[in-house]
Amino acid sequence: MDRDRYLLLSAFCLLTGRIEGEQFSAIWREFAENPGECLQDPLAERGWIPPEDRPHLEYLADCCLREHGGDAQAASLHLLAAARKSVASLDRLAPENTLVYSGPECEDPPSESRVAQPQAAPPAEVRYTYTEIHATGGMGRVWRVHDLQLDREVALKELRPEKVGNRTAAARFVREARLTGLLEHPGIVPVYELASGSDSRPPFYTMRFVRGGTLGAAIRDFHAKRGNGQEEPLEFVHLLTAFVAVCNTVAYAHSRQVLHRDLKGENVILGDFGEVIVLDWGIAKRTDLPEDEDFENSESPRYDSHDAGLTIQGEVIGTPAYMAPEQAEGRLEDIDERTDVYGLGAMLYEILTGRPPFAGSSTLEVLRLAIRGNPTAPRDHWPEAPAALQEICLKALAREPAERFARAEEIAQAVQQWQEVQRRRAEDALRRQTEVLRSILNSMSEGVLVTDASGQVLLINPAGERMFGSIAGAMLAESHGVGEFFMPDQVTRFTPEELPLARAIRGDDVNDVEMYIHPPTERGPFWASANARPLRNGAGVLQGGVVVFRDITERKQAERELVLSRERFELAVLGSQDGLWDWYPKTGEIYYSPRWKSILG
């Protein structure tokens, strides 16, 4: 390989992030300072690129060399100019934004037909009335519009006005609409109409309007709550369920030979009614057709995309923070279903950690990290992340495509199997806890009654059934015997609001309330002491009440007999003609009868 081709190869290494700018400058200086010498390959000599990357980089250099008629110097200068323009444009982008490519922007020459459109709502069409702009992306913007023919609200996506004269952007836009329309799946928004536009307005297509938020927003919300210890137990389950739905949607697209190439949480909508919709198929690709012939033979409306240059070798397509290494390097020939598998792994990584696999201060830095691969393990960010899900995630994020899951449905199955194992474990633990609780309740002599917020009985133990019988299911209903609960005077009835269980359902703690109860059972009236507590969920919301009744009939009878015994003793003493005197030495208490007092004064 001659000197100029070495420089071209080095330029490709710089452009793809394999070497740094300082390293490229060192190579350039070395060749410039030794113009007549045949130097060894500095890339291999210094170990700056791994040997396995060398054939691929040489292939790209040869492609570029052919495009410049074999002039290696011209090809190198072209690449360096592209790199300078790419750096300037990339530094203005956030790593979370989707890139269509990293080279210089290819615009068509200006023409009279290319007129920038105003940002205000376009004139009302015959069929649609415009409400508001719902979202704006890099290539298009989405309006909420009303379809007058079918009297319904739909989404209308149009090419951004400043890109109307850009044939590449227009071809991509129309291609996105047709690809989306090709995919008929519950997880992909249906396309209703595609219009080619006119001189006065850009092309557009209409689709179902899905109300809801993005999966990315739901992930951020979950981890914000997790950081504060306020997450709901089922929120993580809902995120995983949505992720499985995304995997199945992508698997369907793959079955139709379509790759998404830009999978991330912001491109997934969680509908208000359980929908999980994968959006933004703008840089999707059909694997059964060449990139520039995806819709070559489609009927009007159409853009001639044969020479549109939708993609070229070395382009960077996707979102840097979620890119597979082959995407970040622009190796388009290596992008296949496993590239989308990597994107799904990045999405799962974000569910587990609250952040994308790669983060940096600039887009170029993130691209370099994506090229190297090997993100930090999720449990380094969230130690409580399930180990099995981390293993699934890191397999999907393997740097080498052959080491990843082969298909999107395999990730879905792996996550579902983990969820099934967790469900069975939870059921087993709940069953064991229920058995222990039931054993304790069955062995208790106290009656235990648990109700929901309306007073409907959820649980009553055998002792409670023996105490109350059929009245237990209607303790709070006035028409079902509430009047059979008396206060300690055995005359005054408890009102429904004063019953211990009713107070607990309102949020009060009730301690040792004595009640005289007339249940509709054969056992007859009995005395009980009631303790009641509110029943709350993990968030502290009232869900019902729990009341424990302890039968104190024997104690009350003993107290009554003691009172009667004392009354009889007093009566006997009062009627005695003998003087009675008693002294209790432990306490020093002295008792004497009235006769004793009258005798001794």
Rounded to whole angstroms, the Cα distance separating 366 from 369 reads 5
CB 302 within 8 A of CB 295: yes
Rounded to whole angstroms, the Cα distance separating 472 from 459 reads 10
DSSP string covering 362-400: SHHHHHHHHHH--PPPHHHH-TTS-HHHHHHHHHHT-SS
Q: Pairing between strand 510-517 and 526-536?
A: antiparallel
Classify residue 405 by burial, with Cβ atoms within 10 Å: 0-12, 13-18, 19+: buried
Question: What would the two tokens of residue 85 be?
Answer: 């323009």
How far apart, in Å, are the Cα atoms of 138 and each of 158, 164, 173, 221, 277? 12, 13, 11, 25, 20
144 phi and psi, to 5 degrees?
A: -85, 120
Q: Rounded to 10 degrees, what is the CA torsion of 7, 8, 12, 15?
A: 70
Residue 260 CA, chain-centre distance (Å), reads: 20
- Bond preceding residue 488 cis, omega within 30 of 0: no
CB 265 within 8 A of CB 216: yes
Cβ atoms within 10 Å of 58's Cβ, excluding its own: 15
Please name the residue that has the structure tokens 């491109």: 267
Question: What would the two tokens of residue 456 be?
Answer: 């409907």
Q: Which residues neighbour 544 within 8 Å (Cβ) at sequence distance 6 or greater?
A: 450, 451, 452, 453, 458, 505, 534, 535
Rounded to whole angstroms, the Cα distance separating 429 from 204 reads 55
Rounded to whole angstroms, the Cα distance separating 438 from 186 reads 44
Rounded to whole angstroms, the Cα distance separating 397 from 377 reads 10
Classify residue 294 by burial, with Cβ atoms within 10 Å: 0-12, 13-18, 19+: buried
**262 assigned to active site:** yes
Please choose, from the candidates 11, 1, 5, 15, the residue with its C-alpha nearest in 3D space to the C-alpha of residue 331. 15
Q: Rounded to 10 degrees, what is the CA torsion of 342, 344, 347, 348?
A: -100
Rounded to whole angstroms, the Cα distance separating 573 from 388 reads 84
- Residue 524, sorted as left (phi over 0), alpha (psi -120 to 50) or beta, turns out to be left
Of 62, 91, 147, 262, which one is the catalytic site residue? 262
Rounded to whole angstroms, the Cα distance separating 111 from 170 reads 15
At 242, the amino acid letter reads A
Provide the annotated active-site residues. Answer: 262
